[in-house]
Chains A and B, each alone.
Chain A
Amino acid sequence: MAKTQPPEGSPRGLTWATAAYGAGVLLNVDRVPQWVPVAALIFVIWRLMAASRPLRLPGVVIRSLLAVLLVAGVLLRFHTLNGLSAGTALLILMGSVKLLETRSQRDQFIVVAAAMFLLLAACLDRQDLLRAPLYLIQVWLCCAALAVVAYARTAPSSAAAPAGFDNRAAMLLAGRSLLFALPLAVLLFVFFPRMAGAFWAIPRSDEALTGLGDSMSPGSITQLTTSYDVAFRAHFDGTPPPPQERYWRGPVLHEFDGYTWRRTVRSLVHMQPLQYLGHAYHYRISLEPSAHRWWFALDTATGSPQPTVYFTYDYQLISMEPVTEGTNYTLVSYTSTRATSPLPQLARRHDTELSGDRNPKSRALAVKLRGGVASDSAYVATVLDYFRKGGFQYTLEPPQLGFDSVDDFLFNTRLGFCGHYASAFTFMMRAAGVPARVVTGYLGGEWNFAGSYFIVRQSDAHSWTEVWLDDRGWTRVDPTGVVAPERLSRGILDILPNAVSAPARFVWSQPWLAALLQRWDALNTTWNDRVIKFNYSDQLRLLERLGFQSPGAQQLGWAFGAGLVGWMLWIAWHVGRGAPRSRPDKLARAYIALCNKLGRAGITRESHQGPLTLASEVSKHRPDLRNDVDCLLLRYSQLRYGRPERDSYPAKVRDFERDVSRLALRAPASETPRR
């Protein structure tokens, strides 16, 4: 086989490949440093201008230099070429350098492939509902670009051919093909076995995500900027808990150094068995990705939803891996519990521990207040009373606290948010020998009427105290509720609207906009739950609903195979069938019937014979039939080829049809039949 020069790409192919590539860059524009798409844009314009006017394209030296320079730029910015963002930036830059040397059809194919790769990168990173249509359009664009590139006119000699395959035809063809592919895509999506992490480990997200940390030092914060981002959504089966019960439990902080509360891992402590009281809440949480390993649950959960998630002795859910992907899980919680056994000594010691002798004034106050009451629960009420009446104020912009943060807060500033109150209250408890710990999490949530679920946002973050009371076990006490009772029943936005950014505030101030956003959020949630988080267990559940007994991978394979074969047959039939020949019209059918009758009578019409030559055949070989047949054949040729009289034409065709059907021809006589 002689190796020839690769076919020259057409200008139209170049335009389309560039368009597909440019759209691919646009889809990634928010994921890479800004200079990357700008550089790509410059190269795209350069290439397009070079195609339309005599502008030189850079030679191999300049291209190599550019490539090295750009790789260095990416390295400088990311310190690696690995990872999704760095990889995408590199792909964009190298693709645009490739564009500069795009001449042949093969080069154009490569540029379209780069566009598809960019689409994949965008898909891997961003799965919003809003982007899904953009992705579909990009697939369409890429496929149409493939068609145009492939159609490239290689030889100018074939200019005589009709220009039937224009841009519109390419778009239509690609669109049609994708529509044909859609059923298979859905089928594969539903039945193709999923295997997360089967090929390589899933890297941690390199983006800083908001969320609760594992420590809390309220004294260091002078302005709490809360984010409007969603932490998770909660769908309840049946009635949701009342507002004052909507405490979502997160990390529990045990260790206090006088300034900062920390979470410490104490594996020696056994979980306190609990007696669950009241209503059992069954619900499903759709957790948003975060940098942490916390899974949130309505206080108090009854167990872990998954083997990979620990249920700790202080009733937190901690996953083995950070929540890099959105996750769904179902739980059962009781908002009221009672301990059935006394607190172990080890746990008591941990949760009454106050290292050093910091905050002496608060210690003295605690001892004094505890001395005045008989029981721990009375002491809790006394301290709460102290907060209520002590001139404390709720604010998100507290002054910075000194080294002895609790003393400074209780006796000096008296301004703070939930962290300050939880911290000071827990300290007061411990100083009086009452076991207590800080629980962080979320409080409340916004009810989405469109989807019937709660949206819990980062701005709903909260912290409270748990106190061990001998007759009840761990008891939740929320000192913030004493200072700002409205915080319990309403969101933080209602109390302190300035806590969030201006756009969020604007949305919150426009009820119609808020309602619209709620609907949008509900739609998004459905998208996330049904599509984005669709996984192996969902697949099995679906099979079960389809009637499979104890479904497994094998059943999944069968369902998948059956669907695949069905689709293949459908496509083969639909695309592969020859275009239907148009059905002969009424007149032609009657003529064919006449010819068939003649054939039975011994006169076969050859394909080159028209009606009149057939008539002469008849008169030559079967003069006996002439009277009947000749006139019919003449009528046919007049109807077919004569000038049609508009009004009488259909009637004449009908008459002809009738006369043909009435015609009875005698079989050939003794003479030998022709042919």
Chain B
Amino acid sequence: MARWIKKRQGLDSLPLTLSRRRLYILPTRAGVGYGLLLILMLVAGLNYANSTALFLSFLLIGFTLVAMHQCHRNLLGAQLVAATAPPTFVHRPGTLTLTFENSATAARFRIAAGVGEEPVAPTDLPARGRGRIDLPVIASRRGVVRIDRLHLITTHPFGLFRAWTWVHAPIEMLVYPRPNGSLPMPTHHGTKAGTRSVTNTGADEWMGLRPFRDGDSPRQVDWKAYAREAPLLVKEYSATGSELRMFDFGALSNLQLETRLEQLARWVVDAEEGGERYGLRLPDNFIKPDRGPEHRHRCLAALATFGLEDARRGEDTAT
């Protein structure tokens, strides 16, 4: 069934307007129960030739059909404009953010989305407005995980019908290896573990102050200056002569591949938190020592995709 739908609809690209051709609708469980109630009403009305009961059941039959159209209409024409998933770690809750746009003059309500079957977190889209769904996603392996199929669903307005659609958009989420491992961080490039160097503070050459940027470590903030009602400033040290940490894939040869990557990820995360400068050496990649969120991402991304070039087209593992 799912395969047939995919074949029928083809791959989608964002922004995607939900068209008539891709919307499906069926009664919900409540809708089926309600339908049985209607049949009973109709039979009773017919049997007793009771005009009031007949009219009541006819009115409710009409109401149900209208409700079906309204449920369909609640999804029809909505636009999925973006689906973004910031990188996350294996087995850590990540978020897939879906952004919807409603160009209609009427609001849309209770639009839920799901990656598996169960939809979560419904949102309302105001008339000519946008709405967002933050979908919790947990990946079970590192690398580029593709969210193959997205499920958009609504039972608004009366909960009697469920209209839904499947979106097969190329939504990719980068999944870092899980930071794991307890080996001590190597001090710097080339030095053997054990000969620990002095910590970076003091040993680095003082460069001066610069304004705070997002991602700067709190340790480097000049809190004294901040207390003097100065803006948030960050103490900067020159790279030359300062202690570097170089995380070498090759140095962990006694471990298995995944464990190695997890250990490296552990170090990268810890080093970044410690406000240190660090670099990464992989067999096919060398990342010069630096620090900051972008650098951290570059390192972790390299770990995430290491050795997985052919697995990019792998099956969907996100749930």
Which A residues are closer than 8 A to B by beta carbons? 1-2, 4, 105-106, 109, 113, 116-117, 119-120, 123-124, 127, 132, 135, 139, 143, 146-147, 149-151, 154-155, 157-158, 160-162, 164-165, 173-174, 177-178, 180-186, 188-189, 192, 194-200, 202, 325, 531-535, 567-568, 571-572, 575-576, 578-582
In the complex, whether B56 has a CB less than 8 A from a CB of chain A is yes
User: Please, which residue of chain A has its CB at the minimum distance from the CB of B104?
Assistant: A579
B159 touches A109 (CB 8 A): yes
Question: What is the CA–CA distance of A551 and B21 in the complex, to the nearest angstrom?
Answer: 41
Question: What is the CA–CA distance of A124 and B53 in the complex, to the nearest angstrom?
Answer: 6
Answer whether A119 and B56 are a contact pair too, CB < 8 Å, given A177-B66, A580-B105.
yes
Closest beta carbon of chain A to B122's beta carbon, Å: 6
In the complex, whether B60 has a CB less than 8 A from a CB of chain A is yes
A532 touches B51 (CB 8 A): yes
In the complex, whether B46 has a CB less than 8 A from a CB of chain A is yes
B118 touches A575 (CB 8 A): no
A124 touches B50 (CB 8 A): yes
* 10 closest cross-chain pairs (CB), A and B: A181-B62, A150-B159, A579-B104, A184-B62, A196-B49, A188-B58, A575-B69, A185-B59, A185-B58, A123-B52
Question: What is the CA–CA distance of A135 and B58 in the complex, to the nearest angstrom?
Answer: 14
Answer whether A157 and B134 are a contact pair too, CB < 8 Å, given A180-B62, A196-B47.
yes
Question: What is the CA–CA distance of A580 and B73 in the complex, to the nearest angstrom?
Answer: 13
B46 touches A198 (CB 8 A): yes
25 A-B residue pairs with Cβ-Cβ distance under 8 Å, sorted by A, are A1-B117, A4-B118, A120-B41, A123-B45, A123-B52, A124-B44, A124-B48, A124-B50, A127-B50, A139-B59, A143-B158, A150-B156, A177-B157, A178-B59, A185-B61, A194-B46, A194-B49, A195-B46, A195-B47, A198-B47, A325-B49, A532-B52, A533-B51, A575-B66, A579-B104
B69 touches A576 (CB 8 A): yes
Which residues of chain A come closer than 8 Å to B275, judged between CB atoms?
Answer: none
B52 touches A578 (CB 8 A): no
User: Please, which residue of chain B has its CB at the minimum distance from the CB of A128?
Assistant: B52
In the complex, whether B168 has a CB less than 8 A from a CB of chain A is no
Question: What is the CA–CA distance of A173 and B108 in the complex, to the nearest angstrom?
Answer: 12
Question: What is the CA–CA distance of A120 and B46 in the complex, to the nearest angstrom?
Answer: 13
Closest beta carbon of chain A to B66's beta carbon, Å: 5
Which residues of chain A come closer than 8 Å to B45, judged between CB atoms?
Answer: 123-124
Contact for A182 among B51, B59, B65, B156, CB less than 8 A? B59
B118 touches A1 (CB 8 A): yes
Contact for B63 among A4, A181, A195, CB less than 8 A? A181
Question: What is the CA–CA distance of A105 and B37 in the complex, to the nearest angstrom?
Answer: 18
Contact for A150 among B56, B66, B129, B158, CB less than 8 A? B158
Closest beta carbon of chain A to B218's beta carbon, Å: 28
Closest beta carbon of chain A to B106's beta carbon, Å: 5
In the complex, whether B297 has a CB less than 8 A from a CB of chain A is no
Contact for B157 among A155, A173, A181, CB less than 8 A? A173
Question: What is the CA–CA distance of A199 and B46 in the complex, to the nearest angstrom?
Answer: 8
In the complex, whether B72 has a CB less than 8 A from a CB of chain A is yes
Which B residues are closer than 8 A to A by beta carbons? 29-30, 33-34, 37, 40-41, 43-56, 58-63, 65-67, 69-70, 72-73, 76-77, 103-107, 109-110, 116-118, 120-124, 126-127, 129, 131-132, 134, 155-160
Which residues of chain B come closer than 8 Å to A534, judged between CB atoms?
Answer: 51
Contact for B121 among A149, A155, A202, A576, CB less than 8 A? A155
B33 touches A109 (CB 8 A): yes
Question: What is the CA–CA distance of A105 and B33 in the complex, to the nearest angstrom?
Answer: 14
A189 touches B55 (CB 8 A): yes
Answer whether A135 and B69 are a contact pair too, CB < 8 Å, given A184-B61, A576-B76.
no
Closest beta carbon of chain A to B32's beta carbon, Å: 11
Which residues of chain B come closer than 8 Å to A580, judged between CB atoms?
Answer: 105
Binding site secondary structure of chain A: helix
Closest beta carbon of chain B to A5's beta carbon, Å: 11
B37 touches A113 (CB 8 A): yes
Which residues of chain B come closer than 8 Å to A202, judged between CB atoms?
Answer: 47-48
Question: What is the CA–CA distance of A139 and B256 in the complex, to the nearest angstrom?
Answer: 68
B44 touches A572 (CB 8 A): no
Question: What is the CA–CA distance of A175 and B207 in the complex, to the nearest angstrom?
Answer: 71
Question: What is the CA–CA distance of A452 and B49 in the complex, to the nearest angstrom?
Answer: 27
A165 touches B117 (CB 8 A): no
Contact for B104 among A1, A181, A578, CB less than 8 A? A578
Known: A113-B33, A124-B52. 13 other contacts (CB 8 A): A135-B52, A143-B158, A146-B159, A151-B110, A157-B134, A162-B107, A185-B55, A194-B46, A202-B48, A325-B49, A535-B49, A567-B62, A580-B105
User: Please, which residue of chain B has its CB at the minimum distance from the CB of A582?
Assistant: B105
Contact for A120 among B44, B49, B58, CB less than 8 A? B44
Which residues of chain B come closer than 8 Å to A4, judged between CB atoms?
Answer: 118
Question: What is the CA–CA distance of A149 and B110 in the complex, to the nearest angstrom?
Answer: 12
Question: What is the CA–CA distance of A581 and B56 in the complex, to the nearest angstrom?
Answer: 36
Question: What is the CA–CA distance of A325 and B67 in the complex, to the nearest angstrom?
Answer: 34
Question: What is the CA–CA distance of A120 and B44 in the complex, to the nearest angstrom?
Answer: 9
Question: What is the CA–CA distance of A405 and B292 in the complex, to the nearest angstrom?
Answer: 118
Question: What is the CA–CA distance of A584 and B123 in the complex, to the nearest angstrom?
Answer: 29
Answer whether A181 and B65 are a contact pair too, CB < 8 Å, given A120-B41, A155-B122.
yes
Which residues of chain B come closer than 8 Å to A151, judged between CB atoms?
Answer: 109-110, 156-157
User: Please, which residue of chain B has its CB at the minimum distance from the CB of A157?
Assistant: B121
Contact for B124 among A106, A161, A189, A571, CB less than 8 A? A161
Which residues of chain B come closer than 8 Å to A147, judged between CB atoms?
Answer: 157-159
Closest beta carbon of chain B to A22's beta carbon, Å: 19
Question: What is the CA–CA distance of A124 and B63 in the complex, to the nearest angstrom?
Answer: 20
User: Quick one: which of B37, B62, B65, B117 has the most chain A CB within 10 A?
Assistant: B62
Contact for B53 among A120, A188, A325, A579, CB less than 8 A? A120
Question: What is the CA–CA distance of A127 and B124 in the complex, to the nearest angstrom?
Answer: 41
Closest beta carbon of chain A to B102's beta carbon, Å: 9
Contact for A127 among B51, B73, B77, CB less than 8 A? B51
Closest beta carbon of chain B to A153's beta carbon, Å: 8
Question: What is the CA–CA distance of A188 and B55 in the complex, to the nearest angstrom?
Answer: 8
Which residues of chain B come closer than 8 Å to A161, judged between CB atoms?
Answer: 123-124, 131
Which residues of chain A come closer than 8 Å to B158, judged between CB atoms?
Answer: 143, 146-147, 150, 174, 177
Closest beta carbon of chain A to B69's beta carbon, Å: 4
Contact for B66 among A149, A189, A195, A571, CB less than 8 A? A571
Answer whether A164 and B59 are a contact pair too, CB < 8 Å, given A120-B41, A202-B47.
no
A188 touches B61 (CB 8 A): yes
Which residues of chain B come closer than 8 Å to A185, judged between CB atoms?
Answer: 55, 58-59, 61-62
A177 touches B63 (CB 8 A): yes
Which residues of chain B come closer than 8 Å to A124, judged between CB atoms?
Answer: 44-45, 48, 50, 52-53
User: Please, which residue of chain B has its CB at the minimum distance from the CB of A575?
Assistant: B69
Which residues of chain B come closer than 8 Å to A105, judged between CB atoms?
Answer: 159
Contact for B62 among A149, A160, A182, CB less than 8 A? A182
